[in-house]
Amino acid sequence: MLYLNTGHAPRQTVQPGPHSGAEGAALLDLVLPTNAERSWAERATGLRVPAQADLAEVESSSRLAVSGQVLTLSTPITYLGPDGTSMVAPLGFVLSPDHLITVRFAEMPVFDLFARRFQGKEYPQGCSTLSNDGE
């Protein structure tokens, strides 16, 4: 599943295609992405989107990479599954001056919470979207 957020409207679910709006998205969130969805996100942003095997790499030296102005980070993350048990899944971030891509292989409520907090707010360039603004 693909979500995108421009920072000016609520998060949108998108289908891969030429006019999806991903090029202007500040945040592109890939949840359980297929190879086709990853490839589409790569074409839309010009960034390499890691596969699950890349994100699950256990060597800590493989978890952080910088190439030009693009930072790629992978990490295991724990979360509570639907039945309340602790689960672990790989999580990836690709950050460039124009895009933040998240790649996750599990539904994680914290991302939905962030999306609700982020939706419809105008953030001046250089302003942190993570600041505590009374919510």
CATH number for 104: 3.30.460.20
Structurally, how many domains does the chain consist of? 1
Domain that holds residue 92: 2-118
pLDDT-derived band at 130 (thresholds 50, 70, 90) equals very low
Residue 72 CB neighbour total at 10 angstroms: 23
End-to-end C-alpha distance for the chain, whole angstroms? 27
pTM across the whole model: 0.75
**Closest Cα to residue 100, out of 83, 114, 82?**
114
Decide if 126 is inside a domain.
no
Provide the pairing of β-strand 64-67 with 70-80. antiparallel
Please tell me the distance from the alpha carbon of residue 79 to that of residue 87, in angstroms, as a whole number.
5
- Comparing 132 with 2, the larger pLDDT belongs to 2
Decide if 132 is inside a domain.
no
Decide if 35 is inside a domain.
yes
- pLDDT of amino acid 132: 43
